[in-house]
Amino acid sequence: MMDGWRGVVTACVLFALGCVTAMPAIAADRDKLLNEPGVYGTFAAFRFDADWGKLDQATRIAHLTSFKGVVEQHREKLAIDTYLLRGLSDHADFLLRVHATELKDTQQFLVDLQNSPFGKHVTSVVVFNGLTKKANYVPGFSEQLKSDLKAPSESGPYAIVIPIRKDTEWWLLPQEKRAAMMQEHTEAALPYHKTVKRKLYHATGLDDFDFITYFETAKPEDFHSLVLALNKVKEARHNRRVGNPTLVGTVWSLDQLIEVLAQ
């Protein structure tokens, strides 16, 4: 009986979403936004209010359809990724990772989202802002290490976001000393390069942190081992704050996320 009801819910959600996507907007160049330097990355985590669970199924679907509409409206300028945090993070229910060439475009998207019928039932838990840049230290690495880093990393269903703040001493160190410690850091991380995908965002001046680190993996145990290995290198002594909060969730397409949230 329950499976039959879920089937009805799924059918209703898919029908509603189909109506929204009948005339899709021209999408932004996703590969460019995710891979080139000089792009803003924003992580926005949300929690549902107490009234969300009290809404009837049809109303929840209608509100989720408005959520879908806002996302589609902004895809022309933004690359938007969606994640389910519920069950793995106590901070929030879902996460949006947004890439944009203009930070104000991300701001407008999040404002429109919170002004939508769906947004009236969610509370912003945390927002991290960062900027992608060319690698600062990799050009000085050995040729073998640079070659090893070119090997592709595997994506996975698990996503982890960890903000990091460095101490003042780190920024006062000469460039060559920081470069040597980052080479040690990279060598310690290399055994997990294949199974843990990583992306770095520079956040100094844009947020209360210096870096936002984003990871994907199919093997959480490898990520666990990676963190233990990085805690042992000299550079880790300069981490004044790591996490608080750390966000852990799974990668879902927008339609998949909406289907789960409609239950």
Three-state SS annotation for 205-255: CCECCCEEEEEEECCHHHHHHHHHHHCCCHHHHHEEEECCCCEEEEEECHH
Mean of the pLDDT values across residues 82-90?
97
Burial 86-117 (b: 16+ CB within 10 A, else e): beebebbbbbbbbbbbeeebbbbbbeebbebe
Quickly list DSSP for 48-79.
E-TTGGGS-HHHHHHHHHHHHHHHHHHTTT-E
Residue 135 in this model has a pLDDT that exceeds 70: yes
Instruction: Output the pLDDT for position 10.
Output: 52
Quickly list DSSP for 124-141.
EEEEEEEE----SSGGGS
Mean of the pLDDT values across residues 172-195?
96
Residue 145 in this model has a pLDDT that exceeds 70: yes
**Residue 198 a catalytic site member:** yes
Tokens of 64: 């989720």
Residue 6 in this model has a pLDDT that exceeds 90: no
Q: For residue 244, count other CB atoms closer than 10 A to its CB.
A: 11
Helix (H) or strand (E) holding 44: strand 40-48
Q: How far apart are CA 100 and CA 79, in angstroms?
A: 7
What whole-number percentage of the chain has pLDDT above 90?
86
Instruction: Output the pLDDT for position 22.
Output: 45
Instruction: Output the pLDDT for position 17.
Output: 54
- List Cα–Cα distances, 76 to 29, 109, 119, in angstroms: 8, 11, 21
Instruction: Output the pLDDT for position 263.
Output: 86
Q: Indicate the pairing of strand 247-252 with strand 158-166.
A: antiparallel
Residue 16 in this model has a pLDDT that exceeds 70: no
Residues 6+ apart with CB under 8 A from 173: none
Say if CB 154 and CB 197 are below 8 A apart.
yes
Instruction: Output the pLDDT for position 28.
Output: 87
Tokens of 248: 């852990």
Instruction: Output the pLDDT for position 195.
Output: 98
* 231 phi and psi angles, rounded to 5 deg: -70, -15
Mean of the pLDDT values across residues 159-182?
96
Q: How far apart are CA 8 and CA 184, in angstroms?
A: 55
Instruction: Output the pLDDT for position 18.
Output: 58
Instruction: Pick the catalytic residue from 30, 86, 198, 240.
Output: 198
